[in-house]
Structure 1
Amino acid sequence: MPNYRPPDRLTATPAKATLTRGTVLYRVHSARREPAAFNPRPAHCLYGGGRFDGTGCDPYGYLYAGLSPVAAVCETLLRSLPFDPAGGPRLVPRVAVRGRRLSTLRLTTDVSVVSLMSAQDLAGVHQDTWLVQTEAADYAYTRDWAHWIRDHTDPWAQGFVWRSKREPEDRTVALFGDRCPQRALEVTGEDPVDFGTDEGGRWLDSVLEPYHARLAP
């Protein structure tokens, strides 16, 4: 529940998972940011921002990625996108993809993360599926919980892994820039997909189509 504050102390056991060296991650990001660069800009403690961003209360760089290109696209572009009551496809606004691309990254080292995959995992941090399923209106609360979990898993937790809300068959990760070693991620040899190009737009529509969505005209 968003009105449930984190307890004073951790009395359960957070679940640890390892993302092994060589794991491939897919990231949707601004073309102005290097593919493997963590976002250094803290979100506001109350307004805007993502689910597990760093804030002024706990300023750390962060990087979100999917374990598949589909997870990365769905988590980024289908967020809070309603279905059309008339049955038409959901339309992703062009502004949502402007200046963005999908890049393929690879871990150069093992990374230890807090697993938020199962109900048991979530109970290990005194939470339930609300933490990884709630919508953006509650993100100020999920960020506060993320800071509390980080504080109680210092120094080993280098990020989180959880089931994608938009594609539960796949996984999403958030990595912490202050705990991952430098150059923990490298860019693979695969060319990025630029969403602003005709080819990139066609690729994106092919990914969105099974989710009854497409780019707006």
Structure 2
Amino acid sequence: MSFQQRPITFFPMTGEELRPNFKVIPAGTELWRVHKSKYRPHQFNPLLADIHFDGGRFEGTPLDPYHSLYVADSALTAVAESMLRSVAWNGTKRTIPYAAAHGRSLSVLRTTCELTVVSLIEEKDLAAVRRTADLLDDERSYAKARRWASEIRAQAPEAMGLVWQSRRNRPENSYVLFHDRFAGCHCGALEVVPERGFADLGSPEGIEEVNRLLDPLAAEVSKPLR
């Protein structure tokens, strides 16, 4: 990966100095990712979110145009974070539409150097960046969360991403990584672990694997309509 860092242009969310707490991901750590199959396993999402509306919680925007890559501590957490959003209980199990698995892959990445990320895991970590759990839990304010991510990035130029406790598989962690903070990692900071993961989660074998993973969370992906 070879990225050129770009300047951040945004309207500050606060005049206060943030004092973020950092967490170091050691070299050799394995992280799991669910991604569109058209992307390489370690390819950052090249799309930017809208400033006010569409887009993920911590994706870059035209005001702060970084590319993002979401990973998790385990296969289950990666699948749950990708597929369990806004899925309601329906009887004894949560049913996930087949479209959530179609065209997606499950991959394993390994860090080749230490990654320094801002921790949002504990309440004290959120307080350090002048936020509460709403930054992570509120489904209605993704645009505001993206602005706060830019504020954190601006005040913590060494931060290569963020880490927080998964809302869908506590207490494991989810991460977002910022592509423009990897310029100093020679030879690429993430390598693909071969023969791990699943190339086609929408295949019959892929659906079986996803449902095996999701069974402890009482959730399953529906079969495709014939």
Tell me whether the two structures share a fold, i.e. TM-score over 0.5. Answer: yes
The match for 2:62 is: 56
Indicate yes or no: 2:159 matched with 1:165. Answer: no
Tell me the TM-score normalised to structure 1 length: 0.92
Give the letter for the 2:34 counterpart.
V
Separation (CA, whole Å) in 1 of partners of 2:37 and 2:51: 26
The Cα shift of 1:103 comes to 0.2
Q: How do 1:108-119 residues align onto structure 2 when only pairs under 5 Å count?
A: 108-119=112-123
Aligned residue pairs total 208
Indicate yes or no: 2:195 matched with 1:190. Answer: yes
The Cα shift of 1:62 comes to 0.7
Correspondent of 2:144 among 132, 141, 145: 141
Separation (CA, whole Å) in 2 of partners of 1:55 and 1:6: 15
Q: How do 1:2-41 residues align onto structure 2 when only pairs under 5 Å count?
A: 6-10=13-17, 12-41=18-47
Give the letter for the 2:121 counterpart.
M
Per-residue CA deviations over 1:63-90 (Å, capped at 9, x if unaligned) read 0000111110111100111111xx2421
Identity %: 38
Separation (CA, whole Å) in 2 of partners of 1:27 and 1:140: 23
Correspondent of 1:91 among 60, 74, 95: 95
The match for 2:85 is: 79
Q: How do 1:101-140 residues align onto structure 2 when only pairs under 5 Å count?
A: 101-135=105-139, 137-140=140-143
Secondary structure of 1:160 counterpart: strand
Correspondent of 1:178 among 160, 177, 180: 180
Q: How do 1:204-215 residues align onto structure 2 when only pairs under 5 Å count?
A: 204-215=210-221
Secondary structure of 2:57 counterpart: coil
User: What RMSD over aligned residues (CA atoms) do the two structures have, in Å?
Assistant: 1.3
Separation (CA, whole Å) in 2 of partners of 1:92 and 1:172: 20
Q: 2:101·2:207 contact (CA, 8 Å) conserved in 1?
A: no
Separation (CA, whole Å) in 2 of partners of 1:6 and 1:128: 15
Q: 1:104·1:190 contact (CA, 8 Å) conserved in 2?
A: no
